Homo-oligomer: A and B are copies of this chain.
Amino acid sequence: MEFSSFLTSLGTSFLIFIVLMLLFAWLSGKPGNSVIYYPNRILKGLDPKEGGSRTRNPFAWIHEAMSSTEQDVISASGYDTAVYFVFLSTVLGILVLSGLVLLPVLLPVAATDVGVKIAKTTSNGTFSNLDKLSMGNVKEKSSRLWAFLLATYWVSFVTYFLLWKAYKHVSGLRADALMSPEVRAEQFAILVRDIPPVPEGQTRKEQVDSYFKRIYPESFYRSMLVTNNKVVNKLWEELEGYKKKLARAEAVYALSKKTGKPEGARPTNRIGFLGLIGKKVDSIEYYNEKINEVTPKLESEQKDTLREKQLDAALVFFSSRVAAASAAQSLHAQMVDKWTVTDAPEFRQMIWTNLKIKFFQRQKYLPFLKPIVDIDAIKTVLEAYLPQLALIIFLALLPKLLYSLSKAEGIPSEGHVVRAASGKYFYFIVLNVFIGVTVGGTLFSTFKDIKKDPDSIPDLLAAGLPVNATFFITFVALRFFVGYGLELSRIIPLIIFHLKRKYLCKTEAEVKEAWHPGDLRYGTRFPGDMLIVTIVLCYSVIAPIIIPFGVVYFGLGWLILRNQALKVYVPAYESYGRMWPHMHKRILAALIIYQLTMFGYFGAKQFIYVPLLLPAIILSLIFGYVCSKKFYRFFRDTALEVACRDLKEIPNMEQVFRSYITPSLSSDKIEDDQFEDALSQVSRSTSFV
């Protein structure tokens, strides 16, 4: 890539960004678009145009985002989003503090050296202007390399310092969340799995109740057996579908009265395949009939499910938070694979179908990466030196697959699956994209040799590094200009919404569904960010010019996502910052990759003091170990000192309990006594903490 093409690429991206920004300024001002640009506020019942937006200044959102506090983010978007911002600002801090030292020091040191001719450069185009500013321009064995060595340490220490501060901060955030006086149902429940077979002469419910009553005579409240809801869910969805269609048909009929003849035109539909063939019927009558037909079926299936389809899992409710927190951490059965307990996920995070998976089937598929990496198609694509855009598109296809893989591990909670998938995604892109592109890009011809002798990878990597810097700079710039431009302007959701509203939506509920914003999806957003962190860290000393691009990526990201968090996205669930240990570990992993890269690169520069980098790597490992010892367990278990804080009111245990009943099993018509088969009764009057 020549310098001019680099500038062209950068310029084009910037132009697209400017256009998207202008579009945003224009479109977000239109009242009809509020549901796209302020859905979070609308759903919360707030005035979308509150605050700066009222002034019609198209840049007011910047001021709003800058002046918002962490507490604003938490109340608008929850703790997980706030933790994501801790991640963004930590990385931003690392890059800014690194850049402040590295740019003024390393650029002159590199640029004033007499320069080395890099043989390989020509094959990737001559690129003298940027190359002169990189470590590639420094001669082998030069004493100028000392500056780069010290710079490597500076970046490491900045990272340790900010990561430590951030971990402490997030731990505090999590404590605040967990000790909040709000009654949160999941804090009163535990999830029990691997319940042994029912003993002779007892029902499953009696078995569970007597087991927990014996251990927790004071604090046990009630249990809820998990049932196999496949059939009942299907019936319920069918019923809900008919109800929606009925509402739609009624809306169409009402509309036709206004616009057409005063008596209106009753809508009709065909009852054959996809509504395209078969008999034509009156829709309103037909759906009413169907609803009357399915409702009793559902009711009898509900009874049947509760009575006959109990699985070997249950939710157990306690009358105090401390009791539940303590129970979730304790071993209950002598055999570890029986009566296993964990803290209950939030109701909206429950993955009911995973609850029946047995203890030993839930073990992680560690060698999961192998088959993926070995798929020939993927390999071919990777080896073919992906152009930047193709790379981005390719990366967009992976998350679904990784999500399913993680779900197959038998994890009972949505948030946990997202974290697991996100981890796989990170290692996948770092291993395959970053290392693949670096090695594959410069040394494609010798790629086969590397496979035969993997020990030579560091050398080859080091030799090829500076040449790739421009590729990655363009990649980063494309990500932030186009990526964040699209993010802020929300062009695609806007177009889809307007199309849907015009041609598809008939009822209010359908319109609302059309503009519902979804959540921040940090599960896939974060690994993408991590790829940038890895790239920028790895090049920070080799080609410090990449740092400003990294700063812009995370600065712009912080700003634009702050706006989105405050006004657009609605969190799907809340894990109280459980993502942070993963973020922490992966930033540290990126740092270690960076240190290893530098180790290899200094070696390639024949710098004899390169062993002086080893302490940095060891320090990173020790830092990671100490952090996980000091902070991690609180992210897995709830500390009792936190759980024992007072609640603002005596919890309504009945309400806590009911919040875990799936909609397909709950119905106004079902009396409490019908639940008796699967749900245990209130055992006794209980005292609350």
Chain A interface residues (CB < 8 Å from chain B): 171-172, 174-175, 211, 214-218, 322, 325-327, 329-337, 339, 359-360, 363, 626, 629-634, 637-642, 644, 689
Contact = CB atoms under 8 A, between A and B. Distances in A.
Contact of A360 (B171, B175, B629, B642): B629
B634 A360 contact: no
A284 to B, nearest CB: 58
Contacts of A330: 325-326, 329-330, 637, 640
B641 A339 contact: yes
A221 to B, nearest CB: 15
Contacts of A634: 331, 334-336
Contact of A335 (B215, B217, B337, B630): B630
17 contacts: A171-B334, A175-B334, A211-B641, A214-B644, A215-B322, A325-B330, A326-B327, A329-B331, A330-B330, A331-B634, A332-B640, A335-B634, A336-B633, A337-B629, A337-B630, A359-B629, A360-B629
Contacts of A211: 641
Contact of A331 (B172, B333, B629, B633): B633
A215 B337 CA distance: 29
Contacts of A629: 336-337, 359-360, 363
Nearest to A332: B640
Given A218-B218, A336-B629, 10 more contacts: A175-B334, A211-B641, A334-B639, A334-B641, A335-B631, A336-B630, A336-B631, A337-B629, A360-B629, A363-B629
A100 to B, nearest CB: 32
A218 B637 CA distance: 22
Q: Which of A171, A334, A637 has the most CB of B within 10 A?
A: A334
A289 B648 CA distance: 66
A485 B142 CA distance: 72
A585 to B, nearest CB: 16
A333 B211 CA distance: 29
A299 to B, nearest CB: 38
A172 B333 CA distance: 12
Instruction: Give me the 9 closest cross-chain CB pairs, A-B, nearest first.
Output: A331-B637, A336-B633, A326-B330, A175-B334, A329-B330, A215-B644, A334-B639, A331-B639, A215-B640
A334 B167 CA distance: 12
Nearest to A638: B331
Contacts of A360: 626, 629-630
Contacts of A171: 334-335
A630 B360 CA distance: 9
Contacts of A359: 629
A369 to B, nearest CB: 18
A333 B215 contact: no
Contacts of A337: 629-630
Contacts of A331: 329, 633-634, 637-640
Contacts of A633: 331, 336
Contacts of A639: 331-334
Contacts of A218: 218
A217 B321 CA distance: 13
A336 B333 CA distance: 25
A552 B212 CA distance: 50
A172 to B, nearest CB: 8
Contact of A329 (B329, B336, B642): B329
Contacts of A175: 334
A175 B332 CA distance: 12
Nearest to A625: B363
A171 B336 CA distance: 11
Nearest to A646: B214
Contacts of A640: 215, 330-332
Contacts of A325: 330
Nearest to A217: B689
Contacts of A214: 641, 644
A641 B329 contact: no
A171 B338 CA distance: 14
A214 B218 CA distance: 16
A218 B686 CA distance: 13
Contacts of A644: 214-215
Contacts of A335: 171, 630-631, 634
Contacts of A329: 329-331
A641 B333 contact: yes
A359 B625 CA distance: 13
Contacts of A172: 334
A216 to B, nearest CB: 8
Nearest to A172: B334
Nearest to A325: B330
Nearest to A320: B217
A217 to B, nearest CB: 8
A180 to B, nearest CB: 14
A43 to B, nearest CB: 32
A410 to B, nearest CB: 14
Nearest to A634: B334
A211 B215 CA distance: 23
